[in-house]
A and B are shown apart, each in its own frame.
Chain A
Amino acid sequence: MTPAIEMKGMTKYFVSTHVRANDDVDFSVESGEVHALVGENGAGKTTLMNILYGLINPDSGEISIGSQKVRIGHPDDAIKHGIGMVHQHFKLVPSFTVAQNILLGMEPDRAGFLNEQKENELVDELAKKYNLPVDPAARIWDLPVSMQQRVEILKVLQRNAKILVLDEPTAVLTPQEVNELITVIRGLSRLGYTIIFITHKLIEVMSVADRVSVMRGGKMVGTKKVSETSIPELARMMVGREVLLRVKKKEIKRGEAVLEARNISVSDVNGLAAISHVSFQVHKGEIVAIAGVSGNGQTELVEAISGMLDLDGGEIIFRGKPINNASVGERRDKGMAHIPEDRMVVGLNLQTTLDENLIVSRYNHSEFSRYGFLLMKTISQFAEKVVNAFSISAARPGEGISMLSGGNLQKVVVGRELSGDPSFVIANQPTRGLDVGSIEFVHKTLIEERDKGAGVLLVSVELDEVMALSDRILVLYRGQIQGELEAATATEAEVGILMAGGNLEDLKQHEKDNGQGYKREGKS
């Protein structure tokens, strides 16, 4: 086979951050293969792909496409050479239709006037050709994320790309949607397209890729055939040491209820009901998972419990007392910790120092302030302690945190929230966007909290995470609890059908009918 792309000796040094993001990286992709590119955050995957797509100019190194040396200084060059990129954050116009987005800048016109019908026909044709059905007339904002991604892929194909770069395409999808995407990728590969697939998730690598390249610390660690490697080996290559992919946990010692939600309802920012009449309990020493596709009320539920959002109805009992009227600060003082889903905007203040980030929930306590003055020395010592205890390698007391990687930022949040010995921890998507090493760390710490006797409410859209950590699973669907499962006996299929809005009877019926899983057609 001829290499479709050959990158040799790619080096990129970022002066502003003093990081050699790519250090003499060789990377080659064969024509027609699905090639996974994996590595921790900050390993240099995205830099390498941005160089290939002309978004970043390398300091040195050369690129060949189809054995011909090329210079790619701009995305236009990349497109000319048949390279297309689907970014992690879609670049679509939400108010435009599918067809308008796909044909943006290349609309068939009649004397300068748009011809909507022709546009739709063109897109229909395109969709049929690649077996990626879409409704050309639908507006982007009405479409689910997986459909938007499909539109992005069609847009790239319409521009005659032969080589597709997909930057973490599965990060935003549900398990079912991931399966569909994998089918799509397989189909495109069969049609002769070359696909580069960036991801953190090794399971996906195993199920979709032909070969896999692993990067670490700006260097290429190696390239393997997927058939000749395993998940533990890839994890080791990524992190540089043995990684526990599934953290062990002790037998559950369930204590009394620490948090109880009684029939609570919450509205979202637009005043629409986001959570309606939800009741559940979290006991000491257990991890209760709220599973569900994102956007089913998780954010509002968490904000209501933590005190950031008012309840419309119902009651929240914390350690035996109703806290409906307690402020965020009062709840935190009583031992509630909260790892928010958005660490960049909510969980941290990137404009200030590590120290000031670490005291936000406790600057009021006598350990950190006296007579209204902050005890700078104690605070600095505390920062030192957290940095050591949670091994936040890159962070230094007294200095800013905006340059830290996602994993280290999350460690700052986790370090702050868990160093106060909380009795109840809310962890909302605690591992989103993190690499295997950091995920292992977060999982371990959460289980430690549980074993120490804290109640943990884990909100996650990652099925693996829910299955690995929780003792009890509540599935949230459209603001209501669609079902409750004991984690020990639950199957992924059961959680999946509940996440899609079905119920367990459907699943049994379905299995009886054709002896298959839910994968192809989950009822909703």
Chain B
Amino acid sequence: MNNQRFRKILDAILVPLLAVLSGLVVMGILIVFLKKPLFESYTILFSHGFGCEAYGNCIFITALERATPIILTGLSAVVAFRSGMFSIGQEGQYLLGAAAAAWLGYAIHLPPILHPLVLIIAGMLVGAGYGWIPGILKVKLGVNELLATIMLNSIAALIIEYLVQFPMRGDRSTTAHSPVIDESAQLLAFLPGSKWGVGFIIAVIAVIVIYIYLWRTKPGYEQRMAGQSTKFALYGGIRSDRAAIRAMLISGALAGLAGAIEVMGVHRRIMTGFSVGLGFDGLTSAILGQIHPIGVFIVAILFSGLKLGAQLGLQLKLDIPRELGGTIIGFIILFVAAGKFYEESIVRVRDWFTRRRGSNLKGESR
């Protein structure tokens, strides 16, 4: 029984693992082309992405901090995908959630604890509302949610630009940004000089809650069944349309939460260029993480570490352009998309082994 479980997990992570390894191999090839030391590049990439320096200054902590919003937008994608909604609207929901938190952070004044709570709820509500739009369009009018969310992402990015340029603009500095939020609204960091804090705890809780929600509750069951087979759901008496709307509300709320936490814990405001594609990073970590909350958690940290290692290690120490980090991640995604290739190779390798062993095995015929 335990063995079986282990095998199932192994089957699930084999493809992403091979994809990551392939991505790192491609990185090696690129580094050879750039005429840089190969072995050193790998050690530096990892020590500067996941390592700790002697006197307790851990870059890994920064990786965790950077991973926080990606975990949440990744969960957002997991909930949508598992429910059969191919929504890539995390970016837009994230932006609007952030805007809501940034505004209430300076516009109203509340005591600590209450203030962050209000901001978090506001961010989630706004995100959920923005997720509801493609959901209702899909259910009522059959509008493809993929197209709808692409459009809504662009709209949200422009709304943010407008907000920081005009109504929410804090001062007359050259780059537009909103006023800093109240101290009472900011999220606590664990270590001085780092921004890794309460937000990460919230993300971990969200991972657990979403896991339980999807696999242990009635509405989660409905959503997954509707997502896997609408016909089966209809036949069994599950209301797929309601499940889809609910999925989009939750998905939007998670992305909005990511935005609120990013404002409250890291930037303390929104500014022009606030959107750096964290919603899309969540999307890719959901895909590499096998559309599973725990997978998302691991992959989000991995991606953040790789990016940091490329930025702080490869670029500063070896003068390798930091874009290499993004390039590796791009390749990893590409290899995941080619997952079928790995699966077939695995089966072929296994076939070969068992045939060598199995020619004198007793047959287990059906």
Chain B residues touching A, majority SS: helix
Q: Tell me if A515 is interfacial: C-beta within 8 Å of chain B.
A: no
A167 CA to B234 CA, complexed, in Å: 33
Within residues 204 to 252 of chain B, which ones have a CB less than 8 A from any CB in chain A? 216-219, 221-222, 224-225, 228-229, 231-239
- The residues of B that contact A23 with a CB separation of less than 8 Å are 363, 365
Given contacts A13-B358, A19-B365, contact A352 B237 (CB under 8 A): no
Is the Cβ of A15 less than 8 Å from the Cβ of B355? yes
Partner of A19, one of B217, B238, B347, B364: B364
Q: How far is the CB of A235 from chain B (nearest CB, A)?
A: 19
Is the Cβ of A18 less than 8 Å from the Cβ of B234? no
Q: Tell me if A202 is interfacial: C-beta within 8 Å of chain B.
A: no
Is the Cβ of B235 less than 8 Å from the Cβ of A218? no
Q: Tell me if B319 is interfacial: C-beta within 8 Å of chain A.
A: no
Q: How far is the CB of A416 from chain B (nearest CB, A)?
A: 9
Q: Tell me if B140 is interfacial: C-beta within 8 Å of chain A.
A: no
Is the Cβ of A372 less than 8 Å from the Cβ of B225? no
Q: Tell me if A479 is interfacial: C-beta within 8 Å of chain B.
A: no
Partner of A59, one of B217, B234, B355, B365: B355
Number of interface residues of B (CB under 8 A): 31
Partner of A15, one of B219, B231, B350: B350
Q: How far is the CB of B94 from chain A (nearest CB, A)?
A: 28
Q: How far is the CB of A16 from chain B (nearest CB, A)?
A: 6
Is the Cβ of A373 less than 8 Å from the Cβ of B229? no
- The residues of A that contact B231 with a CB separation of less than 8 Å are 345-346
Is the Cβ of A374 less than 8 Å from the Cβ of B236? no
Is the Cβ of A16 less than 8 Å from the Cβ of B218? no
Is the Cβ of A219 less than 8 Å from the Cβ of B365? yes
Question: What is the chain B residue whose CB lies nearest that of A20?
Answer: B363
Number of interface residues of A (CB under 8 A): 47
Q: How far is the CB of A287 from chain B (nearest CB, A)?
A: 22
Q: How far is the CB of A93 from chain B (nearest CB, A)?
A: 27
- The residues of A that contact B229 with a CB separation of less than 8 Å are 345, 349, 351
- The residues of A that contact B218 with a CB separation of less than 8 Å are 363-364, 369, 372-374
- The residues of B that contact A13 with a CB separation of less than 8 Å are 355, 358, 363
A328 CA to B35 CA, complexed, in Å: 66
Is the Cβ of A372 less than 8 Å from the Cβ of B219? yes
- The residues of B that contact A332 with a CB separation of less than 8 Å are 236-237
- The residues of B that contact A19 with a CB separation of less than 8 Å are 364-366
- The residues of A that contact B171 with a CB separation of less than 8 Å are none
Within residues 287 to 330 of chain B, which ones have a CB less than 8 A from any CB in chain A? none
Is the Cβ of A360 less than 8 Å from the Cβ of B363? no
Question: What is the chain A residue whose CB lies nearest that of B220?
Answer: A374
Question: What is the chain B residue whose CB lies nearest that of A19?
Answer: B366
Partner of B351, one of A15, A360, A394: A15
Partner of B234, one of A217, A328, A331, A399: A328
Is the Cβ of A329 less than 8 Å from the Cβ of B366? no
Interface string of A358-370 (1 = CB under 8 A from B): 0111011000010
Within residues 137 to 160 of chain B, which ones have a CB less than 8 A from any CB in chain A? none
Is the Cβ of B232 less than 8 Å from the Cβ of A346? yes
Within residues 316 to 357 of chain B, which ones have a CB less than 8 A from any CB in chain A? 347, 350-351, 354-355
Partner of A352, one of B228, B355, B359: B228
Partner of B365, one of A217, A329, A330, A399: A217
**Most chain A beta-carbon neighbours within 10 Å: one of B216, B218, B233:** B218
Q: Tell me if A493 is interfacial: C-beta within 8 Å of chain B.
A: no
Is the Cβ of B347 less than 8 Å from the Cβ of A329? no
A residues with a Cβ closer than 8 A to B are: 13, 15-16, 18-21, 23, 42, 44, 59, 217-219, 306-308, 327-333, 338, 340, 345-349, 351-352, 356, 359-361, 363-364, 369, 372-374, 376, 394, 399, 405
**A-B pairs, 9 with minimum CB distance:** A329-B237, A360-B236, A20-B363, A218-B365, A328-B237, A20-B365, A349-B232, A15-B351, A351-B228
B residues with a Cβ closer than 8 A to A are: 4, 216-219, 221-222, 224-225, 228-229, 231-239, 347, 350-351, 354-355, 358-359, 363-366
Q: Can you list 22 residue pairs at the A/B interface with Cβ under 8 Å?
A: A13-B358, A15-B350, A15-B351, A16-B347, A18-B364, A20-B364, A21-B365, A23-B365, A328-B237, A329-B238, A332-B237, A338-B235, A349-B229, A360-B232, A360-B236, A360-B237, A360-B238, A364-B218, A369-B218, A372-B219, A373-B217, A405-B366
Known pairs A15-B358, A361-B236, A372-B219 / 17 extra A-B pairs, C-beta < 8 Å: A15-B350, A16-B347, A19-B364, A19-B366, A218-B363, A328-B234, A338-B235, A348-B232, A349-B225, A349-B229, A351-B229, A352-B225, A360-B232, A363-B218, A372-B217, A373-B216, A373-B217
